Amino acid sequence: MADSSDVVREAFRTELATILTAASISWPIKEVNNAHAEADGATSFVAIEFAAGSEEQFARGGAGSNMWDERGQVMVRLFMPLNAGKSPGEGYASSIRSAFRNRRFNRTDGRQIRTNAGPTDSYVDGARWVLTVPVAYQTFNIA
Residues 44-90: pLDDT tens digits? Answer: 999 998 877 676 666 666 666 666 678 899 999 999 998 877 778 99
Spatial distance between the Cα atoms of 85 and 131, rounded to a whole number of angstroms: 12
Question: What does the pLDDT read at residue 82?
Answer: 86
Give the pLDDT band of residue 25 (cuts 50, 70, 90).
very high
- Write out the H or E segment, with its range, that includes residue 94: helix 87-100
- Write out the H or E segment, with its range, that includes residue 29: strand 29-31
Sign, CA dihedral 21-22-24-27, equals negative
On the question of pLDDT at 114 being above 60, the answer is yes
Can you point out the beta strands (E) in 43-126?
45-59, 66-81, 103-106, 111-117, 121-125
Question: What does the pLDDT read at residue 14?
Answer: 92
CATH of segment(s) 6-74+83-141: 3.30.2000
Highest mean pLDDT among 1-15, 36-50, 99-113: 99-113
Question: What does the pLDDT read at residue 18?
Answer: 96
Question: What does the pLDDT read at residue 24?
Answer: 95
Contact 78, 20 (CB under 8 A): no
